[in-house]
Chains A and B, each alone.
Chain A
Amino acid sequence: DSGVTQTPKHLITATGQRVTLRCSPRSGDLSVYWYQQSLDQGLQFLIHYYNGEERAKGNILERFSAQQFPDLHSELNLSSLELGDSALYFCASSERLVPSGQFFGPGTRLTVL
């Protein structure tokens, strides 16, 4: 158990819908990272938050947005969903801004029908 929790574990929805994925980092970790893992694209970095502030952006679509709240949990919002958004979404956390390694949650499997 990494100490990072993600909810829900599975999510099935329809095209055009909007969903919110939630992540709680390990106690004391200030950094939260979001990743998308799919069979054809591999593991893609989406975004990094540190202590509530966005610090780095990767291949995140405009339809996707994220935020980190004062209690340090984070949410990833996915809207106008398409079939191709079906993937595993992982959250990871680390203690500091400069990571000596990240701790990954178990992931949320999103299926868009």
Chain B
Amino acid sequence: GNSVTQMEGPVTLSEEAFLTINCTYTATGYPSLFWYVQYPGEGLQLLLKATKADDKGSNKGFEATYRKETTSFHLEKGSVQVSDSAVYFCALSQNTGGFKTIFGAGTRLFVKA
């Protein structure tokens, strides 16, 4: 079946450090890929998406590229801020007549001032 694997957290970085959160997936066909962010006490928010191979999603300084050859969708940011502290979820969705979305386990990020 389909699955999403994320690097385990927590990840602790200093402000202005470079961020990479790894995400790999297993799926048949051509799923859409997403990154969501969850701040404490809130629901998930869509951060960025990519719907086909080699697409790059980007938002608020975050980027991820849909790599079909390595089945990966790693999240990167060049310079993190304290306000980026949150839990990040990688997800895939496939059209099976409806949309079943599978989420990774989430990676908690702490950014220190």
Give the interface of A toward B (CB within 8 A): 2, 4, 31, 33, 35, 42-45, 48, 50, 54-58, 90, 92, 97-107
The A contact surface, by secondary structure, is strand
| Most chain B beta carbons < 10 A, residue from A2, A97, A101 | A101
User: Is the CB–CB distance between B99 and A48 below 8 Å?
Assistant: yes
Question: How close is B2's CB to chain A, nearest CB, in angstroms?
Answer: 11
B44 cross-chain contacts in A, Cβ below 8 A: 43, 90, 92, 102, 104
Q: How far is the CA of A107 from the CA of B96 in the complex (A)?
A: 26
The residue from A45, A55, A57, A106 contacting B42, defined by CB atoms under 8 A apart: A106
Contact, CB under 8 Å: A33 / B99 = yes
| Distance between Cα atoms of A23 and B80 in the complex (Å) | 34
A56 to B100, CA, bound (A): 6
Top 3 closest pairs, chain A to chain B, by CB:
A55-B98, A56-B98, A104-B43
Bound complex: CA of A50 vs CA of B103, how far in Å?
Answer: 20
| Docked complex Cα distance between A106 and B95 (Å) | 26
- Is the beta-carbon distance between B99 and A99 smaller than 8 angstroms? yes
Known: A43-B44, A104-B36. 8 other contacts (CB 8 A): A31-B99, A42-B104, A42-B106, A43-B106, A98-B95, A98-B99, A102-B46, A104-B44
Contacts of A98 in B (CB 8 A): 95, 99
